[in-house]
A and B are shown apart, each in its own frame.
Chain A
Amino acid sequence: MAIANPADRSPSTRKYSLESGIPPIVGRLAFVAVAIFAILLPFLFDPISSFLSDCIIALAFVIMALGLNVVVGFAGLLDLGYVAFFAIGAYAVGWFASGFFVDANVHIGVSGFITNLPGIHANFLIVLVAAMILCMIGGVIIGLPTLRLRGDYIAIVTLAFGEIIRVFAVNGDAISLPFGENSNLTAGVNGITPVDQVQLPFLAPFTQLNLRPWYWLILALVFITLFVVIRLRDSRLGRAWIAIREDEVAAASMGVPLVKTKLYAYAVGAAIGGVSGAFQASYLNTVNADQFKFSFSIFVLAMVILGGLGSVWGVMVGALVLSFINSYLIPDVFRTVPKDLFGLDFELTDLGFGIFGFLLLIVMVLRPEGLLPEKRRQIELNEDIDAGETSFEVRA
Chain B
Amino acid sequence: MATAEAPPLPAPAPARSRNLIAGLASKYGLYFVLIAPMVVFAVKDLSETGNLSRLGTNIFEGLSNGSIWALIAVGYTLVYGIIELINFAHGETFMIGSFISVGLWGTLGLTLVTGPLGLVLGLLLTLIIAMVACGTMNVMIEKVAYRPLRSAPKLAPLITAVGFSFILQNVGLLWLGGSPEGVSDLLRAQQEVATVFGVRIQRADLLAIAVTIPLVLLMVTFITKSRLGKAMRATAQDPDAARLQGINVDTTISLTFLLGGMLAGAAGLIYALYQTTVWFFQGFQAGLIAFTAAVMGGIGNLKGAVLGGLIIGIVQQTTDNRIGAQWTPAVVFAYLVLVMVFKPSGLIGEETREAG
Residues of A within 8 A of B (CB): 72, 78, 145-146, 148-153, 155-157, 159-161, 163-164, 166-168, 170-171, 294, 298, 301-302, 305-306, 309, 350-354, 356-361, 364-365, 368-370, 377, 381, 384
Contact = CB atoms under 8 A, between A and B. Distances in A.
B327 interface: yes
B310 interface: no
Given A302-B159, A305-B156, A161 B333 contact: yes
Given A160-B292, A353-B169, 10 more contacts: A153-B299, A163-B329, A170-B326, A298-B88, A309-B153, A351-B174, A352-B170, A354-B170, A357-B164, A365-B148
A360 B160 contact: yes
Contact of B170 (A301, A351, A377): A351
Contact of A305 (B155, B327, B329): B155
Contacts of A357: 162-167, 169-170
B213 interface: no
26 contacts: A72-B155, A145-B340, A152-B80, A153-B345, A156-B292, A156-B295, A159-B333, A160-B292, A160-B334, A163-B288, A164-B330, A166-B329, A294-B288, A298-B162, A351-B170, A353-B167, A354-B169, A356-B166, A357-B169, A357-B170, A360-B166, A365-B145, A365-B160, A368-B151, A377-B153, A384-B151
Contact of B337 (A145, A152, A167, A354): A145
A39 B138 CA distance: 47
Q: How large is the interface on B (under 10, 10 to 19, 20 to 34, 35 or more residues)?
A: 35 or more
Contact of B330 (A153, A168, A301): A168
A375 to B, nearest CB: 14
A272 B15 CA distance: 42
Given A358-B167, A364-B156, A160 B337 contact: yes
A149 B288 contact: no
Nearest to B350: A153
A289 to B, nearest CB: 11
A394 to B, nearest CB: 14
The A interface is mostly helix, strand or loop, or mixed, namely helix
B160 A149 contact: no
A368 B154 CA distance: 10
Contacts, number: 136
A72 B160 CA distance: 17
A123 to B, nearest CB: 33
B149 interface: yes
Contact of A353 (B158, B166, B299): B166
Interface string B113-154: 000000000000000000000000000000011001101110
Nearest to B165: A357
A354 B167 contact: yes
Contacts of A358: 163, 167
B76 to A, nearest CB: 11
Contacts of B151: 368, 384
B211 interface: no
Residue among A78, A354, A364 facing the most chain B CB atoms (10 A cut-off): A364
Nearest to A357: B166
A188 to B, nearest CB: 10
Nearest to A72: B155
B194 interface: no
Contacts of A149: 340, 344
Given A161-B333, A357-B162, A364-B149, A155 B86 contact: yes
B344 A153 contact: yes
A368 to B, nearest CB: 3
Contacts of B326: 167, 170-171
Contacts of B162: 298, 302, 357, 360
Contacts of A354: 166-167, 169-171
A381 B156 CA distance: 13
Given A151-B354, A152-B86, A167 B292 contact: no
Contact of A368 (B153, B167, B345): B153
A52 B207 CA distance: 55
B173 A353 contact: yes
Given A353-B166, A356-B166, A167 B86 contact: no
B333 A359 contact: no
A164 B333 contact: yes
A53 to B, nearest CB: 24
Contacts of B152: 364, 368-369
A354 B165 CA distance: 9
B341 interface: yes
A331 B115 CA distance: 49
Contacts of B334: 160, 164
Nearest to B324: A171
A167 B327 contact: yes
Contacts of A352: 170
Given A163-B329, A305-B155, A357-B164, A350 B174 contact: yes
A75 to B, nearest CB: 13
Nearest to A144: B341
Contacts of A305: 155-156, 158-159
